[in-house]
Structure formats: structure tokens, C-alpha cells
Structure 1
Amino acid sequence: MDAHLLEVRDEVFRRNPGETEFHQAVNEVFDTLAPLSARHPEYTDAAILQRICEPERQIIFRVPWMDDAGNVQINRGFRVEFNSALGPYKGGLRFHPSVYLGIVKFLGFEQIFKNALTGMPIGGGKGGSDFDPRGRSDNEVMRFCQSFMTELYRHIGEYTDVPAGDMGVGTREIGYLFGQYKRITNRYESGVLTGKGTGWGGSLVRPEATGYGAVLFTQEMLKTRGQSFDGQRVVISGSGNVAINAIEKAQELGAKVVTASDSGGYVVDEAGIDVELLRQIKEVERGRISDYADRRGASVHYVSEGNVWDVDCTVALPSATQNELDDKAARRLVESGLIAVAEGANMPCTSEAASIFQEANVLFGPGKAANAGGVATSALEMQQNASRDAWSFEYTEQRLTDIMVGIHDRCFETADKYGMPGNYVAGANISGFKKVADAMLAQGLI
């Protein structure tokens, strides 16, 4: 990182104390911008850098609601509208106890460049709450979502800010949020939220899109070395939406996925994960990964509170949460014969782990590129809502495939152009940053 970039980065850190995840995201981008700065200093002028790191709007609000026992509960809600140079703010809502402003800003900052890489006209934003839907009844989740939307509705709209789901926010939560928005505004504004049910404005392939997209991106990386998913031994973390659909698509392409995990532990299934059983337990019954082990039989080994990255593999798809794969795990995976990693979650590899993979010549797809399939299909959902149309599964999946191939190619070609061949982190950061900076320069000082 050159002195100019370092100076601006340090000022961002000073102005945002204690937000370690946001610092990590900013540092990862700045660390790759020196070649762009050398060729095009106008892109890394302090005014552009400072503005791109400062959200256009940060909203924090109280969310009061009543639980089933009649007790009043108070949570905190967030929406960070980070950058609208390319289009309305677009990014998910996360409901999880770990959510605080630094997490939301980290996710929103990543979202700016992720959305730019898709080629779709969407800006970057993110939001959520420290509410934990796990263990809550449907009525409690509904009351929370209604209270949350009672404040959020005044800040969103199909041409302003379009939230979606993220960790802890699935079709159930989006349904309650959308119902309250419709109730308050007296408008059936389908495009205000994405991730809706397919019977009332949602898009086919949206539930599968992030997991499918991560696998499609990995397949393109493997092709650059004359390989494919066929015959690969794959370790995937998590057992939520992203992980389940990544397992399904990887096995469809010929891989054997041997793991899934949750906060209680992980399973190793040497016969290959049974996707339908896992989907039934996690999405229908809202059960635990230990239930999968109990019902799958002798082929499964369950490890409570263990680290899924202790399992040998040739391809790793971390799909649970940020910073789940550290330097120690990265070294062990490299020694076991790892050839490719793609981030299904948002920055699940620590910066040290990412460096180890790159130094070992392991193909490494950063989250802002590899997991962009979800937001890309959200943008396709917005298109369908705007035209009062609904596309087939096959057509929408082909659009997703084309977008993910395009993202891969932009990252690969940009890295090569700026003298860092095969460095997908640099390619993604420079390509996304340049697209946003071009729009900001064109629109003036705002």
C-alpha cells in the first residue's frame, strides 16, 4: 500500500474507532489499489476514497416488541445506505445477536463492490438487528418484524433502497416485513424488498442463487487450470440457505461434499451429504446438524463444537459467517492438498488466511465476487417486479450463470491487466472500485 492510500486508510480507521470488521474490509480493498492509483490517480484521489468509505446515510433505531409471555423486548435496528452511485441501495438485512454498526458497515462496504461486479444498476447498503429469531415463535418473529418495518419503511423504496434477506432473515421474515410495509404505505410495491415468496412477487432461483453462484464461480476458477468439480472432495461450512444450495450444485457438477455444520458442531458424511435430508431438517423442521447425524446412519461422523476445517479436502467453500477460517486452518488445508477456495459467506476467511492461500497458489475467490449470485438474482427479481413478469427457473438460472461467468472473467482479466495474474481479490476490488468511482466522478461532488 502506497503512502497516500495508507494515509487515507488510517484516517478512516480513526474516524470509525472500534469497528474491527469494517476496518478489515477497508484494508482488504485499499491493499490492492496501488496499481490502479499508479495508472489512474484520479480514481484514488482523497475525495473519492474518503467518500467511498463514508456511508451516505446511517440509520439506527429502537425496535420495541412483545414476546409471547407478554414481556417487552428492546432490540436495535440498523440500515447503512452506503453508496448510490450506480443505483438504489441494495443489500440484505441480518438478524443475529452479533449485529452492531461495525458489522453492518463491513457488510455494506463489501456490498458496494459486489453489486458493481454484477453489472446490474444497484448501489450498496446493508442493515439488520441484534434480534435473534432462533427459538422464537412465528408470532414473536412477526411482531418483531412489524415493529422493525414501522421505522424502516420511511427510508426504503424501489427507487431508493431495496433490502433483502441475509443471516436470520428468510422468506418468513421477508413476508412479515413486506406485509407491514404494504399495510403502512397502502401500496403493493413489489420491488421494495427482494427474497419474497414466489407466489407474491419473488423470483425463482433466488433461494438457490448465492450457493449456486459460489459453485459456478469456483467452476470457472478451476477451468483456468484445466480442472472441474468432477471428482473433487469438498468441505462446506454452514447448513443454512447458502451452504445447502452450494452442496446441491457442487454434487450436481460431480463433486462429493462431505461436511455441513452449525454452531453446535459439524458432520462428516463420507457417502456425500444427503441434501434433501439436510434441507428437511434445517429449513422445514428448523433442527440442528446433530439431527442429521442421528437420522443419516453409520456413514456419518458427528463432531460437537469442533472445527470443520480440520477435514481434508481439495475444494473449500466457507459459507457460515465472517472470519470463521483463520491462518491455522488455512495452513492445514494447504498441507492437505487444497486447490481452490471460494467464499460463500461474507469474508469468512481472515486476511491472514487469504494471504496464505494466495501465497500457496491456491485459487481464492473473495466473497464480493464468489457470493454475488444472491444479490444478482435479487436484481433480476427487481426487473421482474418492474415489468409485472415472472421468469422460468431455467431462464433465470441461465441469467445467473451468465452473470457469474461475467464476474469471474472481469476479475480474472482485471488482475491480469494490472500485473497480478490469478489474483481474484485484486481483480474484484479494482474492477468494482473503478466502476463505482467512474460514476461518482461523473455525478460531481455529492
Structure 2
Amino acid sequence: MSNIPSEPEFQQAYNELVSTLENSTLFQKNPEYKTALSVVSIPERIIQFRVVWENDNGELQVNRGYRVQFNSALGPYKGGLRFHPTVNLSILKFLGFEQIFKNALTGINIGGGKGGADFDPKGKSDNEIRRFCVSFMRELSKHIGADTDIPAGDIGVSGREIGWLFGAYKAQTKLWEGVLTGKGTTWGGSLIRPEATGYGLVYYVNHMINYASGGKESFKDKRVAVSGSGNVAQYAALKVIELGGTVVSLSDSKGALIAKECQSITADEIAQIAQIKVERKYLADIVSSNDAFAQKYEYIAGARPWTHVTADVALPSATQNEVSGDEAKHLIGAGCKFIAEGSNMGCTQEAIDVFEACRCEKKGDAIWYAPGKAANAGGVAVSGLEMAQNSARLSWTTEEVDDKLKSIMENCFKNGLETAKEYAEPGEGVFPSLVAGSNIAGFKKVVAAMHDQGDWW
């Protein structure tokens, strides 16, 4: 695939997949898969449209809307909608490309897609956001359906926006169907869906820790650095606290919140942070207005946590490319042993190279990195479970959904681990590459289905 300078995020995601496939024995054992790679890397369909809406002053506004329907070999397209001013085709193609293989790793029959708009909900009134959602769905409704394409939420699209989007879809199509996931639990949503990505991330990393320690360790007494302060970061932090770990950081686009000395962010404090996020405020606001926060935490404007913490585990959970090569080196130098992405492509390629080099060099002393397509698959997994509940017109209990989520994350970990052992040959005393194992396992499953359906031969 030739270089695409106008699509750097997608090029990065593509290169990351290709490098692991080429450095494994996959193409030696299955040379025909090189042909499949060229096919799977092109979306089946890209939909782009204008979204015209009216602000509270009666002024006409226009944004760009997108849906990338990337691959349907394993099932209907599945992937989130992102409302953020940085949204463009490159970002949505990278997210959709990652989504294909992430969804494959869950074991649920869903394909990969992604969509959204360059609309910024921050600073907008509820009525403005609702009007935007109605206008956005006016076009998107022509291209989605319960057996075609089932979007979910992402950055800028919470349960509130999903409700408005669902209402607009129902009004336009006269259909009540599971066309969106992340719905309210009283009208078709699944329990554990808001928590799923964060919880699943921690369940996955717990398997990493357990495997590396020979079954002797877990999150108990581990210091954990988390970036972000949205849905994924909040629930990952809460689950770490529940399992006995210490959460030493959170962050947002304006700066980082670092716990002083040996203190931990608490569940009550995370609830306060969640509330200011609902109000579309920043961490700086709660520090400046709350003396208890100001005394317990250091707020560093314009910073990310990674060079300001000492931690055993790092969970990037904010956005793409949030850990640089230098930050990766600092984390390892400060004693970090486990890194897993709660965000999609949270680490730059330079950071991944640092982590993977340390994994190979430090035999018997785990420096282990897990990519987002495996570690943060819990969100889409429970979205798939929500689809199943919608199809059966029933609701499962919290315990039922959580047990299924735990099982899916365990299978994601074991699948990547065993595939890495088979195709990536880690060497004696070296932990298998979860990057290679996850990429190969997801790729193999998707392209085998494409082959059976005649998409390549």
C-alpha cells in the first residue's frame, strides 16, 4: 500500500498491522494472505454528507458527517460515532480499520466500521446538540439498520446523544430496532455498557499480571497511572480501586491531575469528576474550586501524566498517540511493567517500539504492552451483547453481562497469547508479543471469512 500523506492516522494503523504480520511467520505459512491484506485494507464503503442545523440564535451551521463501513465479513458493521472538531476521514478510517480486528477478537459476529462528524458539543446548549443529532440522523438513517450497520457512542457521543439519535431514527423509519447501542437501560440498553470498556481493560490487564507472575499477583497494591477522565478512564479507575490498586493520575485535554505522595484517587472523587464532565468542564475547574482537591493533587497544565508519575501499570485512556517514545522510556525507567491501551492507538509507533524492545530484552522481568484492539474490546463486546438482548427482546442481569464480559476479555488475552506463541516465536524466557498475537489472530479470522465469501481468492 502506497504512502497516504493526507491520511497519517490511517497510515499509522495500517503500518502497525503490516509490520507485525511481516515480522511473523504468517506469510511464510500462508503466502496467499498477502493478497488478502490488500483487500481488507480498503473500506467496503465510505459515506460522507453535510449536516445542516440551526443554533440558538437561529443561525445556519454546517458540519461534515461520515460513516466508514469498513468490513462486513463477520457480521453487520459495528463501531462508534465520534463528535469532535478533529474528526476527519483519516481518523475514522484508522478507527474503522482497528475496529475490524478488535471486533473479530471478541468472538461476536460483528464487522467493523466507524463514523461521526467534525461537530464540537462543547460550548453548545442541549437544544443545539439535539438539533444537530436530528439533522445528522436524517442522512445516516439511510445507511444503517439492525442487520446492516449498528453504530454506538464514542468521544462526544454519550447516552444522551444516543437517545436523541435513536429517537430521530425511529421517527424517520417508523422502526423500533436495535440500530444503536449504548441506549438507556429502560428502553433496550444493556447493563454494564457504560462501564464495559474500562472494566474490560482492567480484566484484560489482570490476566497479563497474573500470567507474568505465574499466578501470584493481581492489581492488589499496584500503582496505576490512568490518562483521560471520560467514560473509559473513570470506570477503569473504579475497577482498579475495587481490585485493591492505587490510582495515581487522571487527565484531560487541558492538563494532568497527579496524586501527591502515596495517595490514591478515590471512588467519591471520581464521581465528582464525572459530574464536572457532564457539565462539560475541565479538571482545572475542580482543582480551582475545591480546596480538598488542590491539597491532595498536583494539577499540571498542558501535561500528560506519563513523565510525572511512578507506576506499575499505565493505562492510556484518552485519545490516539498520547504516549510518545520518550514518555515510554520514562515510564519504564520509573518502574512501569504493564502498559495497555484503553484508547484506540493510544501509543505512537515509537512508544510501541520501546515497549516491545524492553519486552525482548528483559527476560523474566515483564515489560508488557497490550494494544487497544485487544485490551479495550470490552466496550464493543457488551455492545454486541446489547444487540443479542435486543434481538431476543429481553434483558440480562448485571451479573450475567459482567460474567460474559470477563469471559470475552479472558478469551481475547488467551487468543492473542497463543497466536503469538505460534506465529511470532518469542524466544526462550521472553513474554509473547500481544501486539503481534492480537493482530494476527484478528486478521486471520477476518480474511478467512472473506475468502469463504469470495472477497479474495
- Is 1:275 aligned to 2:285, yes or no? no
Residue of structure 2 aligned with 1:86, choices 62, 65, 74? 74
Alpha-carbon shift at residue 42 of structure 1 (Å) = 2.2
Could you tell me whether the CA contact under 8 Å between 1:322 and 1:348 is conserved in 2?
yes
Could you tell me whether the CA contact under 8 Å between 1:278 and 1:292 is conserved in 2?
no
Q: Please give the residue correspondences for 1:182-193 in structure 2 after superposition, counting only pairs within 5 Å.
A: 182-189=170-177, 191-193=178-180
- Is 1:321 aligned to 2:314, yes or no? no
Residue of structure 2 aligned with 1:100, choices 88, 92, 99? 88
Q: TM-score, normalised by structure 1?
A: 0.95
SS of 1:167 mapped into structure 2: coil
- Is 1:198 aligned to 2:182, yes or no? no
Could you tell me whether the CA contact under 8 Å between 1:163 and 1:194 is conserved in 2?
yes
Residue of structure 2 aligned with 1:240, choices 226, 230, 235? 230
User: 2:363 — aligned with what?
Assistant: none
CA distance in 2, matches of 1:136, 1:275: 29
SS of 1:206 mapped into structure 2: coil
Alpha-carbon shift at residue 230 of structure 1 (Å) = 0.9
1:291 counterpart letter in structure 2: D
2:305 counterpart letter in structure 1: V
User: 1:3 — aligned with what?
Assistant: none
SS of 1:22 mapped into structure 2: helix
- Is 1:342 aligned to 2:329, yes or no? no
Per-residue CA deviation, residues 192-251 of structure 1 (Å, 9 max, x unaligned), is 000111111100000000001111111101111113211111110000000000000111
CA distance in 2, matches of 1:109, 1:126: 9
Structure ranking higher in helix proportion: 1
> Percent identity over the alignment?
53
1:326 counterpart letter in structure 2: S
CA distance in 2, matches of 1:432, 1:406: 12
1:123 counterpart letter in structure 2: G
Alpha-carbon shift at residue 287 of structure 1 (Å) = 2.5
Q: TM-score, normalised by structure 2?
A: 0.92
Per-residue CA deviation, residues 130-186 of structure 1 (Å, 9 max, x unaligned), is 001112111000000000000000000010000000011000110110000000001
- Is 1:303 aligned to 2:300, yes or no? yes
Could you tell me whether the CA contact under 8 Å between 2:241 and 2:266 is conserved in 1?
no
Q: How many residues align?
A: 431
User: 2:16 — aligned with what?
Assistant: 28
CA distance in 1, matches of 2:285, 2:125: 20
- Is 1:394 aligned to 2:394, yes or no? no
Alpha-carbon shift at residue 327 of structure 1 (Å) = 0.5
Q: Report which stretch shifted further, 420-429 or 387-396.
A: 420-429
Alpha-carbon shift at residue 51 of structure 1 (Å) = 1.4
CA distance in 1, matches of 2:276, 2:89: 29
User: 1:426 — aligned with what?
Assistant: 436
Residue of structure 1 aligned with 2:281, choices 287, 296, 313? 287
Q: Report which stretch shifted further, 135-144 or 34-43.
A: 34-43
User: 2:383 — aligned with what?
Assistant: 378
Structure 2 alignment gaps of length 5 or more? 360-366
SS of 2:51 mapped into structure 1: strand
- Is 1:410 aligned to 2:398, yes or no? no
Could you tell me whether the CA contact under 8 Å between 2:251 and 2:305 is conserved in 1?
yes
Per-residue CA deviation, residues 4-26 of structure 1 (Å, 9 max, x unaligned), is xxxxx33xx3xx44100000000
SS of 2:49 mapped into structure 1: strand
Alpha-carbon shift at residue 304 of structure 1 (Å) = 1.4
User: 2:251 — aligned with what?
Assistant: 261
Could you tell me whether the CA contact under 8 Å between 1:319 and 1:345 is conserved in 2?
yes
Could you tell me whether the CA contact under 8 Å between 1:330 and 1:353 is conserved in 2?
yes
User: 2:99 — aligned with what?
Assistant: 111
Alpha-carbon shift at residue 337 of structure 1 (Å) = 0.6
SS of 2:351 mapped into structure 1: helix
Per-residue CA deviation, residues 391-420 of structure 1 (Å, 9 max, x unaligned), is 111110010000000000000000011113
SS of 2:73 mapped into structure 1: coil
CA distance in 2, matches of 1:358, 1:49: 23
SS of 2:16 mapped into structure 1: helix
- Is 1:445 aligned to 2:455, yes or no? yes
User: 2:362 — aligned with what?
Assistant: none
Structure 1 alignment gaps of length 5 or more? 1-8
Compute the RMSD of aligned alpha carbons: 1.2
1:429 counterpart letter in structure 2: N
Residue of structure 1 aligned with 2:221, choices 231, 235, 246? 231
Could you tell me whether the CA contact under 8 Å between 2:227 and 2:304 is conserved in 1?
no
Alpha-carbon shift at residue 283 of structure 1 (Å) = 4.3
Residue of structure 2 aligned with 1:164, choices 146, 152, 171? 152
